């Protein structure tokens, strides 16, 4: 019998359940028509290549470390033009489970070779099915959020509701059942298969119908023929990385989190503020340090201190030689290191001592992978204990499995190489071919320090204006304009290539990437980002394809891919 382990409520679930006082509005749902489901499965069995939308229900989100497992599966499809849909709940805490023979038939249908499976969250649902002893990793599958990102990466959300609203507005998702939504948060402890049926079945139906519309979308049809095959491999590679996780030195992370909190308290006392909120930042940055207002709130007109603005202020503070700027920088360094690093790792570490980040393929507009819960792509490359004491243990809190060692491998100046190659800059290509330092060469040619040129080159390629460049490298506006002019005079091919991409973005509202996908820019005002998108996105595509090849050709029981941090890979390799 192919069903998951028996459901056992955790103490957390029981405690949370006591807080839920909502009364079920539908305590006596209609019985499930298992004869109808049996007929559906027979029809699907006879049509092994018929696409099928699926969704799983679980006791929680922790399916990757064994704390949660699948309790039921919903399906929806159109074999032979006949609509089929239903839900089989086989491991609910309450109620009668679905007949075991039907669960076995559904498992067989899902594993039938050649059947495309359509999923809203492929990494999660593939792992969820594995907890029920159903393995679809060898099947063709489609992940809707990733598809949505390829069709229109500018969508503010790629959740099921947003996808359905954009691509299949003629279908509706059942989202207003407050009692069920509360039960979902705590692992469905009071929900029978009958009560779940309409809710779960609707998820699979909306998933399937949305996919039917998406595969006919003009932007989907414009992708390179083999692009989705590669993307499936990417998702499976990320799935295996998440399944393994990376081992956390709990004690080291806790020590650094405690040190950081203690140090932040001292620094706030030194600054004379209870926190670094807008009032404190206004007085410290704008009044005492006389830094310029970078951006104002559209609503209030007050100075803005959002994430992007503060990143600019951090760059400016590093160039201000004062005790005050050093204190502010140290506080902000510890604040980020503790909240996004050390404590974030402790908050999500699994019982087996490993951290399992979720790498996503549908969040960034450039096509880069993103990481969340926790964000392991924020781990800094450099960790100088003297200059940035808050970062020096960020890598060290992760350690290899016994008998293994950790290795870090990364690309050297990947985006700059890509820029030199596509723009066709002979002098820069020759520097790379001969293995010389590109920024030393550019600094000598332009007459500026190496670090200044490095900061300028990346800021310029990312579409920064003269004012932002002046602030980021600590020069006057006139000097920034002259530097840009000298740069384009020295390397005219870069300016030509940037203008070519910008013109293409304005004319076509998108630019093609070398890999066969597109970066969409629906508004002419965004065209200045074309160069950045092409270079950053193109570099991300190179890294992603290398990651897939590594997983297929290198990784085995002696070598595991643990993390991908932009243009770097972290491996766990067996001693010897």
The residue with tokens 């407050």 is 178
pLDDT number for residue 70: 98
Exposed / middle / buried, residue 403 (Cβ in 10 Å: 0-12, 13-18, 19+) = exposed
pLDDT number for residue 126: 98
pLDDT number for residue 474: 84
Contact 103, 90 (CB under 8 A): yes
Report which of 461, 464, 495 is spatially closest to residue 480, judged by C-alpha positions. 464
Distance of CA 176 to the CA centre of its chain: 28
The residue with tokens 């002893």 is 133
Residues 6+ apart with CB under 8 A from 265: none
pTM attached to this predicted model: 0.91
3-state DSSP percent of the chain in helix, strand and coil, to 5: 50, 10, 35
* 518 membership: H or E segment, kind and range: strand 518-520
Give buried/exposed letters for 542-565 (b at 16+ CB in 10 A, else e): bbbeebbebbeeebeeeebbbbbb
Beta bridge partners of 409: 569
Q: Is 24 helix (H, G, I), strand (E, B) or coil?
A: coil
Q: What is the DSSP string of 560-574?
A: EEEEEETTEEEEEEE
Q: Is 83 helix (H, G, I), strand (E, B) or coil?
A: coil
The helix-helix angle for 466-473 and 477-490 (nearest 10°) equals 100
pLDDT number for residue 13: 45
Q: What is the DSSP string of 380-440?
A: -S---TTT-TTTTTTTTTB-PPTTEEEEEEE-SSHHHHHHHHHHT-HHHHHHHHHT--HHH
Mean pLDDT for each consecutive 10-residue tract of the chain (576 residues)? 34 47 86 98 97 98 96 98 97 97 98 95 98 97 98 95 92 79 92 96 96 97 96 98 97 97 97 95 96 91 93 90 95 96 97 96 93 91 80 93 96 92 94 92 92 89 85 89 94 94 97 97 93 94 97 96 93 96
d(CA 487, CA 499): 15
Distance (Å) of CA 225 to CA 220, 230, 512: 10, 10, 14
Contact 405, 393 (CB under 8 A): no
d(CA 296, CA 201): 47
Contact 354, 246 (CB under 8 A): yes
Q: What is the DSSP string of 277-296?
A: -HHHHIIIIIIIS-PPP--B
Contact 238, 123 (CB under 8 A): yes
Q: What is the DSSP string of 124-191?
A: HHHHHHHTTT---TTS-EEEHHHHHHHH-TT-S--SHHHHHHHH-TTS------HHHHHHHHTT-TT-
């Amino acid at each position: 019998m192919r069903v998951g382990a028996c459901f056992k409520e955790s103490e957390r679930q029981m405690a949370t359940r006591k807080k839920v006082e909502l009364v079920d509005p539908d305590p006596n749902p209609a019985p499930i028509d298992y004869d109808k489901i049996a007929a559906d499965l027979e029809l699907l069995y006879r049509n092994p290549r018929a696409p099928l939308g699926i969704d799983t229900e679980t006791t929680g989100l922790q399916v990757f470390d064994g704390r949660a497992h699948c309790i039921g599966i919903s399906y929806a499809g159109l074999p032979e033009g006949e609509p089929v849909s239903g839900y089989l709940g086989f491991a609910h805490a309450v109620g009668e489970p679905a007949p075991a023979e039907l669960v076995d038939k559904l498992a067989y249908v899902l594993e039938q070779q050649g059947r495309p499976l359509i999923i809203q969250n492929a990494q999660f649902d593939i792992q969820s099915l594995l907890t029920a002893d159903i393995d679809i990793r060898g099947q063709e599958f489609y992940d809707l959020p990733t598809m949505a990102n390829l069709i229109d990466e500018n969508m503010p959300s790629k959740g099921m509701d947003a996808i359905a609203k954009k691509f299949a507005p003629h279908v509706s998702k059942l989202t207003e059942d407050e009692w069920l939504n509360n039960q979902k948060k705590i692992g469905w402890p009071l929900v029978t298969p009958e009560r779940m049926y309409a809710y779960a079945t609707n998820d699979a139906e909306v998933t399937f119908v949305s996919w039917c519309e998406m595969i006919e979308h003009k932007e989907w049809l414009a992708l390179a023929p083999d692009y989705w095959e590669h993307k499936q491999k990417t998702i499976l590679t990320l799935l295996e990385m998440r399944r393994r996780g990376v081992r956390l030195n709990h004690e080291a992370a806790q020590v650094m989190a405690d040190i950081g909190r203690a140090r932040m308290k001292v620094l706030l006392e030194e600054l004379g503020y209870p926190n670094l909120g807008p009032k404190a930042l206004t007085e410290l940055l704008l009044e005492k340090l006389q830094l310029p207002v970078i951006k104002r709130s559209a609503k209030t007109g007050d100075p803005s201190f959002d994430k992007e603005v503060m990143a600019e202020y951090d760059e400016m503070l590093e160039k201000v030689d004062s005790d005050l700027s050093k204190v502010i920088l140290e506080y902000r360094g510890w604040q980020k290191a503790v909240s996004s690093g050390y404590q974030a790792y402790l908050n999500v570490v699994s019982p087996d001592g490993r951290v399992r980040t979720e790498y996503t393929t549908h969040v960034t507009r450039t096509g880069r992978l993103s990481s969340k819960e926790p964000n392991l792509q924020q781990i800094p490359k450099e960790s100088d204990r003297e200059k940035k004491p808050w970062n020096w243990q960020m890598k060290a809190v992760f350690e290899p499995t016994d008998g293994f060692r950790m290795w870090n491998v990364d690309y050297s100046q990947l985006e700059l190489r890509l820029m030199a190659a596509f723009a066709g800059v002979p002098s820069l290509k020759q520097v790379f071919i001969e293995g010389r330092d590109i920024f030393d060469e550019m600094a000598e040619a332009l007459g500026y320090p190496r670090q200044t040129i490095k900061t300028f080159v990346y800021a310029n390629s990312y579409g920064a204006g003269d004012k932002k460049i002046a602030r980021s490298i600590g020069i006057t506006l006139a000097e920034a304009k002259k530097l840009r002019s000298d740069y384009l005079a020295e390397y005219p091919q870069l300016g030509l290539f940037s203008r070519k991409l910008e013109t293409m973005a304005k004319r076509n509202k998108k630019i093609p990437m070398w890999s066969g996908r597109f970066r969409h820019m629906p508004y002419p005002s965004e065209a200045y980002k074309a160069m950045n998108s092409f270079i950053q996105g193109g570099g991300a595509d190179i890294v992603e394809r290398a990651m897939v090849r590594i997983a297929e050709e290198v990784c085995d029981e002696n070598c595991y891919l643990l993390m991908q941090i932009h243009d770097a890979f972290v491996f766990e390799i067996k001693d010897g």
